Amino acid sequence: MIEVGREPLSLEDVWAAARTAGAARLWPEGALRDRLARSAGLVDEVLAREGVIYGVTTGYGDSCTTEVRDQLIRQLPLNLTRFHGCGLGRFLDPDETRAVMAVRLASLTCGWSGVSVELAQLLGDMIANDILPLIPAEGSVGASGDLTPLSYIAGALAGEREVLFRGERMVSAAAFKLAGLKPIVLRPKEGLAIMNGTAVMTGLGALAWMRADNVSRLSSRLTAMALIALQGNPRHFDEPLFRAKPHPGQAEIARRIRDDLAAFDREHAPTRLQDRYSIRCAPHVIGVLEDMLPAFRKLLETEINSANDNPLIDPDTGEVLHGGHFYGGHICFAMDGLKTLVANVADLADRQLALMVDEKFNNGLPSNLTGATGERAPINHGFKAIQIAVSAWTAEALKLTMPASVFSRSTECHNQDKVSMGTIAARDAIRVLELTEQVLAAHTLACIQAIRLRERDGQLTRARVGKPIHDFIDALGDDAPMLTEDTPMDRVLANLSGKLGRREIAI
């Protein structure tokens, strides 16, 4: 059980909370409750002194000069959730929604946002009971944070928005009743505290990081398998070579490939002294992603465990601080970078696959890796169409690498005149990962097919392929069938790419 508020959340914590229903809750200890109660009390103290707080005693955004009189202050938070109910596009899936909720709760527990214990507890109970708001993916420019998508969480807390609960869509008030919970009346500042933050882009970013880490590991293994299938030169990955250009991630990728090639006969004379770039330079391609993952982790984990709404209330002094921590620039940069690096890995795998299916370059493998022999060989085309599909998926991934941050738009009467576009970048990154996982699923099947063909024809033995790679092949079992006769492969590909996206295939 992940206890939000106990200590800073890691990317692995967010992944676990996202992947398993009910895996997270609000830390129940009194220290957290005291911090939250003090934070909410500070809002009351400022209001009692007839102080001015943006979004509490004023309108929102460009309307910050509009005074909200005392009798309307308590209606204002609910109105905020309502007028932002304009999101469109697909709904975030359950994993994405859980990640967003966990990240928002982590931010609120920092104690700078002025929310009550009751609100934090209900949000924690929604996570623990897997009551998931239906959050449209489109409608945020990433400053003032993820206002529109997060309004669907705020509205659900108040009992007004639809949620997914026990496999059914219903209004949140009905789900709360079934779960023995009650909606809350949003206090002053609470609607803004939930909505005016970066939880959607950051939650999606955390999931994207975990999947990108898996892409790095799998593409390293597939490079080793492609080299074996092509009967290439394993000396391209020797350790002394990577001391000469010591980027740590690049060296780590070379080590992984080298370990997987340990059993491959290094005395065997390769067909080419130097393999083509998609094999020889794989550490230099994948290694850039591997080198940047730690930097992206730092940006994401800092954002997850930060107070990123506005205004903030200093929990020590009670001072109301008006700023712009809702701006998602760090997350946008991380996601723009991540999607570009992942798409480059897709392009690498596409090139490796193209070599393996082409009899002009594959060093004696059957054309298109067909497993058919004899009189049936002419009517079987193996991986021909899969290679075309891989090219299409790769092209689409590459097309999405235009950085979102450079498309900032002036919005909301020129109050939000410079915005991050972080949520669009995070959504792009998720889509690039989906496409890349499809490419890697196809490449996995092709590498396994090629190795099996070599073994079938006596050109390779299990011993030369090596234990790590054969353990990987054996573990996939029926998920990676030998293709001997042409047959539709869409379900096999969908199943395998889905497992890759869920990190269910150990690398």
pLDDT on residue 62: 58
320 located within any domain: yes
443 located within any domain: yes
For position 56, which CATH number holds?
1.10.275.10
506 located within any domain: no
Contact in structure between 284 and 250 (CB atoms under 8 Å):
yes
Q: 94-110: b or e for each residue (b if 16 or more CB lie within 10 Å)?
A: ebbbbbbbbbbbbbbbb
In a shared domain, residues 172 and 314: no
Cα separation, 167 vs 74, whole angstroms: 34
In a shared domain, residues 123 and 270: no
Cα separation, 89 vs 92, whole angstroms: 9
DSSP 8-state class, residue 481: -
For position 332, which CATH number holds?
1.20.200.10
Q: Which residues contact 446 (CB under 8 A, 6 or more apart)?
A: 353, 356, 357, 369, 383, 386
- The predicted-structure confidence for 225-276, as pLDDT tens digits, reads as follows 999 999 999 999 999 999 999 999 999 999 999 999 999 977 776 777 899 9
Place of tokens 């200093």: 314
Of 149, 175, 197, which residue sits at a domain end?
Answer: 197
Phi/psi of residue 445, nearest 5 degrees: -60, -40
Work out how many domains the chain is built from and give that number.
Answer: 2
Contact in structure between 282 and 234 (CB atoms under 8 Å):
no
- Token pair for 381: 């085309």
Phi/psi of residue 160, nearest 5 degrees: -110, -20
In a shared domain, residues 192 and 249: no
In a shared domain, residues 43 and 158: yes
389 located within any domain: yes
How would you write the pLDDT of the chain (507 residues) with one tens digit per residue? 999 999 999 999 999 999 999 999 999 999 999 999 998 998 888 877 776 676 676 766 656 556 767 667 788 888 889 999 999 999 999 999 999 999 999 999 999 999 999 999 999 999 999 999 999 999 999 988 899 999 999 999 999 999 999 999 999 999 999 999 999 999 888 998 999 999 999 999 999 999 999 999 999 999 999 999 999 999 999 999 999 999 999 999 999 999 999 999 777 767 778 999 999 999 999 999 999 999 999 999 999 999 999 889 898 888 888 899 999 999 999 999 999 999 999 999 999 999 999 999 999 999 999 999 988 989 899 999 999 999 999 999 999 999 999 998 888 888 788 899 999 999 999 999 999 999 999 999 999 999 999 999 999 999 999 999 999 999 999 999 999 999 999 999 999 999 999 999 978
Of 138, 162, 197, which residue sits at a domain end?
Answer: 197
In a shared domain, residues 128 and 266: no
pLDDT on residue 77: 85
In a shared domain, residues 140 and 234: no
In a shared domain, residues 176 and 256: no
- Say which amino acid occupies 343: A
In a shared domain, residues 184 and 222: no
- The predicted-structure confidence for 262-291, as pLDDT tens digits, reads as follows 999 777 767 778 999 999 999 999 999 999
Domain that holds residue 291: 205-501
SS3 361: coil
pTM above 0.85, yes or no: yes
180 located within any domain: yes
- Token pair for 494: 């969908």
Cα separation, 306 vs 292, whole angstroms: 22
Name the active-site residue from 54, 60, 152, 327.
54
Strand 2-4 relative to strand 24-26, pairing: parallel
Among residues 460, 468, 470, the alpha carbon closest in space to that of 229 is found at: 460
374 located within any domain: yes
Among residues 455, 456, 433, 438, the alpha carbon closest in space to that of 386 is found at: 438
In a shared domain, residues 262 and 157: no
In a shared domain, residues 391 and 248: yes
SS3 162: strand
Check if 54 is active-site.
yes
153 located within any domain: yes
In a shared domain, residues 347 and 486: yes
215 located within any domain: yes
pLDDT on residue 355: 98
In a shared domain, residues 212 and 183: no
Of 169, 197, 225, which residue sits at a domain end?
Answer: 197
What does the chain come to in residues?
507
